[in-house]
A and B are shown apart, each in its own frame.
Chain A
Amino acid sequence: MATLTSSRALAPIGTAGKLFAFGLDVGRGLFRRPFQMREFIQQAWFIASVTIIPTALVAIPFGAVIALQVGGLIKQFGAQSFTGSAAVLAVVREAGPIATSLLIAGAGGSAIAADLGARKIREELDAMMVLGIDPIQRLVVPRVLACMLVAVFLNGLVSVVGVAGGYVFNVVLQDGTPGAYLASFTALAQLPDLWQGMAKALVFGLIAAIVASYKGMNANGGPKGVGDAVNESVVITFMLLFVVNFVMSAIYFQLVPPKTG
């Protein structure tokens, strides 16, 4: 009985270990030749096509909400001239990577998990292994790289659309002045903010693709198993991404001091 309870309690650790081992396998597969260029381009195109429009649509209200909140707050402080700078900071540092992570996990990751899960259930992955082809190298590596690439681009998209949305809301609805909004852009924000946003997006893409691939390739129990795998992969990715986002932000603030003056 005791062993049963302990084995049940320790099961999540085992899963985490397996996920990590899978990540290492993918890392090893990265350097194995031949590189699957075709699959990579196809997947990048596919992931981009399922995420671009939702991302743009999410980014507009995201930028607007930040503009509304920050605009109201800043008016109370009497520092209207910094509205633009605060919006840029919030969108580029946090909103961009977070919105990217939501879309990459929700749209890209679920598509990857569903695709690989269906292949697993239909024994396609077994057939591939039997034909002497490593599915990690042939299928997972291109997907992971594609996901990372698309995540970085999506981050850029969110930043641009978010800042533009914030501008429109600030100028049109909150009676801000366009000049003040634009002029204060660089008052607080700095170039490293942009780099850390991209680094976050890169890591988010990596995590989302690895979790989705792992869950998809370990689906079992028929069509229901595929549904479970997709569901679990999205939930696990969300949790991981928010934790990683926090850790990376904390590290960033230690490494790069905030701009003064």
Chain B
Amino acid sequence: MGVEIKVEDLSKSFGKQLIWGDVTLTVPAGEICVMLGPSGTGKSVFLKTLIGLLKPDKGSIVIEGTDIASCSERDLYEIRKLFGVLFQDGAMFGSMNLYDNVAFPLREHTKKSESEVRDIVMEKMDLVGLIGAEDKLPGEISGGMRKRAGLARALVLDPEIVLFDEPDSGLDPVRTSFLNQLIVDLNAQIDATFLIVTHDINTARTVPDNIGLLYHRHLAMFGPREMLLSSEEPVVRQFLNAQRVGPIGMSEEKDADELAAEADQELPPLPPIPMQLEPSNGIPRRSQREPGEWCRENGITPPPGSFDQNMTMTTGA
């Protein structure tokens, strides 16, 4: 039943370069969160800090009462058993075939017999649709398959927290939507806490319960999906709707001249909020909320056409 991640005042810099500072957020137990941000804003660094691969300069990350930022190496290895992480390229062990890769955590951490290991591995391989490819080496399969195999390995120890580092990078739109559906179904099934780092707008708009946006070395906003999708905040609005008009420029931020030139430009209206992706068996997830619930509670009128079942998934231009 998932575990909460409490991040407080987190800062990280490489040398004199601040990556992001004062990030405070709570990833609620059992919910799906997406961390968004333009390229190069340190999303992957954030993820690696959460699992203790990188040490933050200050701040704390508390998981089940343990502060990852300051705990001992031994505690860190213990707490990491709660995690399943899907790396960008799957990070499969190149010298082992897929079966051994997925079985690896079981063999290292449990005393299960080989037949029990086989049952669990086959179940997870089935879940990600890789039955029949167990004997292949990671070098012999496509990037999408490596990703799915990485997901199977991340799930094999029944993690309480699953982190996804750009699950949709390098996948075609069809595979991406299959993977998104798989993520939602998985969450319904294992109730773990999910955190997805991505810059795919479609994923961000339809999959999560909560969205966070990293921009310009800080956390611009973090909150329920509908809060960000109906937000008028320039950065959030520009990014979530993939527009050119707004504070984000090609390199990093726009300078004063560029902003002044845009000042009287009419902002396109907010596109409607799409329905959240539902588990394929139709049974709502535990953390799922009614469409439009947040907007009603906070007295915000969602953009016209929101929560329409037949709405197209396109984002505003």
State whether A123 touches B89 (Cβ < 8 A).
Answer: yes
State whether B91 touches A132 (Cβ < 8 A).
Answer: no
Asked if B244 is at the interface of the complex by the 8 Å CB criterion, the answer is no
State whether A127 touches B91 (Cβ < 8 A).
Answer: yes
State whether A133 touches B87 (Cβ < 8 A).
Answer: no
User: 8 Å CB contacts to B: which residues of A217-239?
Assistant: none
State whether A132 touches B81 (Cβ < 8 A).
Answer: yes
**A230, B29: Cα distance in complex, Å:** 44
Shortest CB distance B214–A (Å): 20
**A129, B153: Cα distance in complex, Å:** 14
**A131, B107: Cα distance in complex, Å:** 11
Asked if A118 is at the interface of the complex by the 8 Å CB criterion, the answer is yes
Q: Which of A118, A126, A138 contacts B91, CB < 8 Å?
A: A126
Asked if B88 is at the interface of the complex by the 8 Å CB criterion, the answer is yes
Asked if B104 is at the interface of the complex by the 8 Å CB criterion, the answer is yes
User: 8 Å CB contacts to B: which residues of A118-144?
Assistant: 118-119, 122-124, 126-134, 138
**A123, B88: Cα distance in complex, Å:** 9
Shortest CB distance A237–B (Å): 24
Asked if B284 is at the interface of the complex by the 8 Å CB criterion, the answer is no
Shortest CB distance B234–A (Å): 35
**A127, B87: Cα distance in complex, Å:** 8
**A42, B105: Cα distance in complex, Å:** 20
How many B residues, CB 8 Å from partner?
A: 23
Shortest CB distance A245–B (Å): 34
Contact with B along A23-45 (1 / 0, CB 8 A): 00000000000000000000000
State whether B80 touches A124 (Cβ < 8 A).
Answer: no
Q: Which residue of B lies closest to A138 (CB)?
A: B108
Please count the residue pairs between chain A and chain B whose beta carbons lie under 8 angstroms apart in the complex: 51
State whether B80 touches A129 (Cβ < 8 A).
Answer: yes
State whether B87 touches A126 (Cβ < 8 A).
Answer: yes
Q: Which residue of A lies closest to B74 (CB)?
A: A134
Residues of B within 8 A of A130 (CB): 51, 53, 80, 83, 85
**A138, B93: Cα distance in complex, Å:** 13
Residues of B within 8 A of A126 (CB): 48, 53, 87, 91
Say yes or no: A131-B53 contact (C-beta < 8 A), given A122-B94, A123-B91: no
Asked if B178 is at the interface of the complex by the 8 Å CB criterion, the answer is no
Shortest CB distance A11–B (Å): 13
User: 8 Å CB contacts to A: which residues of B112-163?
Assistant: 150, 153, 157
State whether A131 touches B87 (Cβ < 8 A).
Answer: no
Q: Which of B78, B88, B89, B108 contacts A131, CB < 8 Å?
A: B108
State whether B94 touches A124 (Cβ < 8 A).
Answer: yes
**A104, B105: Cα distance in complex, Å:** 32
**A130, B81: Cα distance in complex, Å:** 8
Residues of A within 8 A of B92 (CB): 124, 127
Shortest CB distance A63–B (Å): 38
Residues of B within 8 A of A123 (CB): 87-89, 91
Residues of B within 8 A of A128 (CB): 93
Residues of B within 8 A of A122 (CB): 89, 91, 94
Q: Which residue of B lies closest to A128 (CB)?
A: B93
Residues of A within 8 A of B53 (CB): 126, 129-130
Q: Which residue of B lies closest to A123 (CB)?
A: B91
Shortest CB distance A98–B (Å): 33
State whether A127 touches B78 (Cβ < 8 A).
Answer: no
**A122, B157: Cα distance in complex, Å:** 22
Q: B interface vs A, CB < 8 Å?
A: 48, 51, 53, 77-78, 80-81, 83, 85, 87-89, 91-94, 104-105, 108-109, 150, 153, 157
5 A-B pairs with the lowest CB-CB distances in the bound complex, closest first: A127-B91, A123-B91, A132-B81, A132-B80, A130-B85
- 7 new A-B contacts at CB < 8 Å, known A126-B91, A130-B85, A132-B108: A118-B94, A124-B93, A126-B48, A126-B53, A127-B150, A129-B77, A132-B77
A-B contacts, 11 listed (Cβ < 8 Å)? A119-B94, A122-B94, A126-B48, A126-B53, A126-B87, A126-B91, A127-B85, A130-B51, A131-B108, A131-B153, A132-B78
